[in-house]
Chains A and B, each alone.
Chain A
Amino acid sequence: MDDYGTESDSDYTSYWRDWFISSRGNEYFCEIDEEYLTDRFNLTGLNTEVPYYQYALDLVTDVFDLDCDDEMRETIEKSARHLYGLVHARYIVTTRGLTKMLEKYKKADFGKCPRVMCNSHPLLPMGLSDIPNLKPVKLYCARCEDLYNPKSSRHASIDGAYFGTSFHNILFQVYPGLIPPKSSERYVPRVYGFKVHAAAALVRWQNGQRDDLRRRLRKMEVESGFKDGEDDELEGEDDDDDFDDDDDNGGLQMQTHQHHQQQNMAEYGRGGDGTVPPSGFSGEAQMGSVA
């Protein structure tokens, strides 16, 4: 594994960087251009962050020719990896860097979103902090806009600062066409087809939040990004189903746990009227039809 050093003086092949990005556990990194690395401006401030900065930089740019013992080499090697990571965080927000990361994103090199409703949407690496050695890398799903832990422990130990807090957001600012359509599809916990009251109440509240957001966006004439058609739906339903004040359904109560009358109607109305509860993840939209 350590044979990179012996031939690191091979000119113009990015030997060290090649080795680095292709070694196991470093799949999230892209290759930084030689020109970017050799422009001192891009490395501003890193000399105080990285021990043996000059040697590390030499190693990364394959001009390392210091004769030293293994221990020293190991230290420099560690520094080089750290330096590479820190430069990487800066590089991936440049035009070229974004393109390279975009390619990797399209190949799902960073994994896929574990959330079922996201349908294996590719993830992007990100850091929760731009300061090194604070937080390990997390994975961002552009579809559900949430963060997930990498599956494998060798990825979970990569420093998040090597990707930074801004990269994935900049990517979608630069390539707005790549923003995945948002979906209000979601999981609703059910027992024998009946929604569970506590969870359903939260779901209703969250859906209200979502509809508020979409109304706000529409007022400001900003594209909501939700799938086609869902915006039109919004107009008609207008939350009239969140409370069901029809008392007729009171007799349908099937108490799986303690709760109150009004809610039973909302929760059990669908199950009670003889229709088979849909197996999927129907929003609250259909609820109104019961009343």
Chain B
Amino acid sequence: MSTSSGTPESWISSFCSLLGHEYFAEVSEEFIEDDFNLTGLQNQVAMYKEALEMILDVEPEDDEEDEDEDEEDEEDVSGDGRDMMGGQAHGGRRHHSRVASDLSVIESSAEILYGLIHQRFICSRAGIQQMSEKYELGHFGMCPRTNCNQTRTLPVGLSDIPGEDTVKLFCPSCLDVYVPPNSRFQTVDGAFFGRTFGALFLLTFPEYDLTKTGAETAANLPRTTDEHAMINGVYARNIAPGLGRGKIYEPRIYGFKVSEMARSGPRMQWLRSKPDDLSVLDEARRFAEEHGDSDDDDESMSMNGRPIARRRPPGNAKLRQRQAQNGSPMAVEANGADSEL
């Protein structure tokens, strides 16, 4: 194959079809061609211009012959991206006389550059849409946690800086991160997905039924009475559906629970717990209800799981009403109007 325009496979699609690159979306060329989207990447990637040309399959202007091009392409170098920083100093200047070693530097630079663009792209409208299609198809695997019932996961990074950590899988059902089961993903940089994507995905697609999995039909799972109940700006049914009562492992010996007073007793159940009554999590509303009574402070702070008895705060009814509205997402306007009266 050659890099001239009109080839069946672009650098991007061949990169995305490599083994271990199954999580990647194909960044659209328009996105890359918009310089605004690349702001700041020049300083992060060695041989930036060459790498960008490689990604976009553009023939370098200063290349004399076509033969060189063909040579370059047959060289299928997939260098380790980690050591590209070292190549920056000398590699940047010598692009007129490219040799094989330069090529491998460019190739690994291109991979890092693509990854960093990818990190931004999947947070854009087009990119997150593409990722949601991949999510639908289950490209990102499933949560290994037994009580998550094979919820589909999302690829995330724990750092936005390349070279720090590999890609992880974020499970929206237990809000935890896991190492991908297949070792081929342990060479994929987490920064190529970034810290933002996982959470942004859930905010972008609040309607997603997280409980829907390939193996388990949603009918099986306990549902809140109101399908559309909102808590803290998201559907209550989508707040960590894999956590809470019945989804926490209880250690037992011959059928008897291990007491928490035992040294080997359970210590980590909090990590998988969730209030039975999710309205407990609506801290703002609870704060509003308790506000005004300074003695309540202690109460509101000891978050021990049981729904706190609603006390009528002292003060006039109007004030109370205002505070109650404070808990609704629309409260800002209502508040303003009210206070003007």
Are B178 and A191 in contact, CB atoms less than 8 angstroms apart?
Answer: no
Are B144 and A209 in contact, CB atoms less than 8 angstroms apart?
Answer: no
Neighbouring A residues of B271 by C-beta, 8 Å: 144, 146, 186, 206, 210
Partner of A197, one of B150, B170, B232: B232
Are B261 and A258 in contact, CB atoms less than 8 angstroms apart?
Answer: no
Segment 251-307 of B: residues with Cβ below 8 Å from A: 251-255, 258, 260-275, 280-285, 287-288, 291, 300-305
Are B302 and A202 in contact, CB atoms less than 8 angstroms apart?
Answer: no
B179 at the interface (CB under 8 A from A): yes
Binds A, one of B3-11, B198-206, B311-319: B198-206
Neighbouring A residues of B267 by C-beta, 8 Å: 145, 182, 213, 224-226
Are B232 and A170 in contact, CB atoms less than 8 angstroms apart?
Answer: no
A179 at the interface (CB under 8 A from B): yes
A 160-195 to B, binary, CB cutoff 8 A, 1 in contact else 0 = 000001101110110010010010001101111100
CA distance A206 to B271 in the complex (A): 6
CA distance A202 to B232 in the complex (A): 10
Are A260 and B273 in contact, CB atoms less than 8 angstroms apart?
Answer: no
Neighbouring A residues of B332 by C-beta, 8 Å: 261
Binds B, one of A3-11, A42-50, A53-61, A240-248: A240-248
CA distance A222 to B266 in the complex (A): 12
A271 at the interface (CB under 8 A from B): no
Binds A, one of B31-39, B74-82, B129-137, B323-331: B323-331
Are B260 and A261 in contact, CB atoms less than 8 angstroms apart?
Answer: no
Binds B, one of A21-29, A64-72, A147-155: A147-155
Are B253 and A240 in contact, CB atoms less than 8 angstroms apart?
Answer: no
Tell me what chain B mostly uses at the interface: helix, strand, loop, or mixed.
loop
Are B300 and A116 in contact, CB atoms less than 8 angstroms apart?
Answer: no
CA distance A285 to B281 in the complex (A): 19
CA distance A148 to B177 in the complex (A): 13
Segment 218-250 of A: residues with Cβ below 8 Å from B: 220, 222-226, 238-240, 242-243, 245
A204 at the interface (CB under 8 A from B): yes
B181 at the interface (CB under 8 A from A): yes
Asked if A198 meets B231 with Cβ closer than 8 Å, knowing A114-B179, A138-B146, A145-B249, the reply is yes
Of all chain A residues, the one with the shortest Cβ separation from B265 is A222
Of all chain A residues, the one with the shortest Cβ separation from B243 is A202
Partner of B263, one of A149, A222, A266: A222
Neighbouring B residues of A290 by C-beta, 8 Å: none
Partner of B301, one of A190, A197, A226, A240: A240
CA distance A194 to B179 in the complex (A): 23
B175 at the interface (CB under 8 A from A): yes
Are B303 and A204 in contact, CB atoms less than 8 angstroms apart?
Answer: yes
A257 at the interface (CB under 8 A from B): yes
Binds A, one of B47-55, B88-96, B107-115, B233-241: B233-241
Asked if A260 meets B175 with Cβ closer than 8 Å, knowing A114-B144, A147-B147, A243-B283, the reply is no
Are A279 and B159 in contact, CB atoms less than 8 angstroms apart?
Answer: yes
Neighbouring A residues of B291 by C-beta, 8 Å: 245
Are A116 and B177 in contact, CB atoms less than 8 angstroms apart?
Answer: yes
A196 at the interface (CB under 8 A from B): yes
Asked if A116 meets B168 with Cβ closer than 8 Å, knowing A204-B303, A259-B329, the reply is yes
Are A220 and B261 in contact, CB atoms less than 8 angstroms apart?
Answer: yes
B102 at the interface (CB under 8 A from A): no
Q: How large is the interface on B (under 10, 10 to 19, 20 to 34, 35 or more residues)?
A: 35 or more
Neighbouring B residues of A204 by C-beta, 8 Å: 283, 303
- Say how far A225's CB is from chain B's closest CB, in angstroms: 5
B212 at the interface (CB under 8 A from A): no
B72 at the interface (CB under 8 A from A): no
A75 at the interface (CB under 8 A from B): no
A205 at the interface (CB under 8 A from B): yes
CA distance A187 to B282 in the complex (A): 21
B 122-159 to A, binary, CB cutoff 8 A, 1 in contact else 0 = 00000000000000000000001111001000000011
Are A189 and B199 in contact, CB atoms less than 8 angstroms apart?
Answer: yes
CA distance A213 to B233 in the complex (A): 29
B57 at the interface (CB under 8 A from A): no
B196 at the interface (CB under 8 A from A): yes
Are B232 and A186 in contact, CB atoms less than 8 angstroms apart?
Answer: no
A–B Cβ pairs within 8 angstroms, 5 of them: A169-B251, A169-B252, A202-B243, A225-B267, A259-B329
A252 at the interface (CB under 8 A from B): no
A79 at the interface (CB under 8 A from B): no
Are A146 and B253 in contact, CB atoms less than 8 angstroms apart?
Answer: no
Are A258 and B329 in contact, CB atoms less than 8 angstroms apart?
Answer: yes
Neighbouring A residues of B274 by C-beta, 8 Å: 202, 205-206
A262 at the interface (CB under 8 A from B): yes
CA distance A208 to B239 in the complex (A): 17
A18 at the interface (CB under 8 A from B): no
Neighbouring B residues of A148 by C-beta, 8 Å: 144-146
Neighbouring B residues of A144 by C-beta, 8 Å: 268, 271
Partner of A262, one of B147, B176, B249, B283: B283
A 258-272 to B, binary, CB cutoff 8 A, 1 in contact else 0 = 111111001000000
Are B233 and A197 in contact, CB atoms less than 8 angstroms apart?
Answer: yes
Neighbouring B residues of A128 by C-beta, 8 Å: 146
Are B303 and A205 in contact, CB atoms less than 8 angstroms apart?
Answer: yes
Neighbouring B residues of A217 by C-beta, 8 Å: 260-261
CA distance A199 to B160 in the complex (A): 20
